[in-house]
Amino acid sequence: MKILLLTAITILAGLLMSRAAKPLSLPAVTAYIVAGILVGPFCLGQLGIPGVGFSSLEEVEGFTLISKVATGFIAFSIGNEFRLSALKKTGKAAAVIGVFQALVATLFVDISLIIVHFIFPDVISLPVAITLGAVAAATAPAATLMVVNQYKAKGEVTSLLLPIVALDDAVGLVIFAVSFGVAKSLTFGAVDVVSVIVEPIAEVIASLALGFVMGFLFNFLEKFFHSRSKRMALSIAFVLLTVAITDLKFTVGGVSFGFSNLLACMMLGTVFCNLCEVSEELMDRVDRWTAPLYIMFFALSGAELDFVVFGNAVIILIGIVYIISRSAGKYLGARWFSKACGCSHNVQKYLGITLFPQAGVALGMSITAQQLGADGTLIRNIILFSVLIYELVGPLMTKTALTAAGEIVPEGKRSSRGIKDQNSRRA
């Protein structure tokens, strides 16, 4: 009963906040996150009134399944951007920019924080600096996709943005595994080549292979159903099945690996959209079905944000250096390599700004980083601080950049109620 009540309250809070944020021209994503903060354990939850909000972080974590499922559907939608017809135009540029902007962001954060380490060795250790540099590569696909979908953004920047955001997950996994392996060797004095190189590569390959197989199976079964509702149900079932399988872990020949939820579901969407003739219609219907799920996902992200991190001067100092250096790396990396690929001035100027948002993948990496003990706890808190800033400001910056690039055009959209009222007056 309590789960249903919290679910209803969270969705309602997200909807009401998006309505309140509309006059301010804020993206719905930002409104959902703010709503989550309000009903979270660090705001209304502090009142201790049953049903008003989440009373503890443990209650928020009890909804982890919703976050996993939402991430799967988000990745499935991003996979739709990898149509071969579109990749023939943007594939090479997206691959080059996607890989190198992530590397530049990592390099910028590494250099900045290593300098801070040498100036203040008691404030930040070398393993912390190296690990945070690796986390910097990751971008939040969820917030980006929601902004693009909400404003129906179209153009050269958007067509490059979504594939690049998807590639970030694969690139980020490899960069993080290598850097974190080095950080562990500096902390504990041992280097494990298998965990540093082999396991992350195995995870990426296994995730893409899983999505590839599921995509073919999905396309095969889709042909046996003809009604739109049953095809939509089949789409939902396959995303849920893929998400469920990604929870499995394997050990083969001493190599332990699992699956990336994002990569597997992204490949599922990619294979399906290139094989099925009605894939666009199906994905559009699935997107409509997932609207409440996305509200829950972003609201839960807001509920998890702990404002206690603002009380620690060290976290704020390192967090500010991290945010500035990562943002500079993302912006300049995208600008330099989009120029090298011969992209338009708009792409060079605005693409990097749309890559600022950071959330789920980075938080997942920070949890892994807690293996470093006290250093890991510091990394976790710094990422929590940066995610709080990025989640609140990132979507708005993405919207602003796409609007400046001319890819978000105000349509003066009316509600269905307004259209009906207008039609009745005409009659």
Q: What is the pLDDT along the chain (427 residues), one digit of tens a residue?
A: 678 888 888 899 989 988 888 887 778 888 888 888 888 888 887 777 766 778 887 888 888 888 888 888 888 887 877 777 767 777 788 889 988 999 999 999 999 999 999 988 888 889 889 989 988 888 877 778 778 888 888 888 888 888 888 787 778 877 887 888 788 777 776 656 666 667 777 788 888 899 999 999 998 998 888 888 888 889 899 999 999 998 888 777 767 777 888 788 888 988 988 888 777 777 777 877 888 888 888 888 778 776 766 777 888 888 899 999 999 999 999 999 999 988 889 899 999 998 888 876 777 777 777 777 888 888 888 887 888 788 778 888 888 899 988 888 765 554 555 545 545 554 4
Taking only the tens place, the pLDDT of each residue in 91-149 is 788 889 988 999 999 999 999 999 999 988 888 889 889 989 988 888 877 778 778 88
* Token reading at 206: 């296994």
- Using alpha carbons only, what angle is made at residue 406 by residues 405 and 408, rounded to the nearest 5 degrees? 110
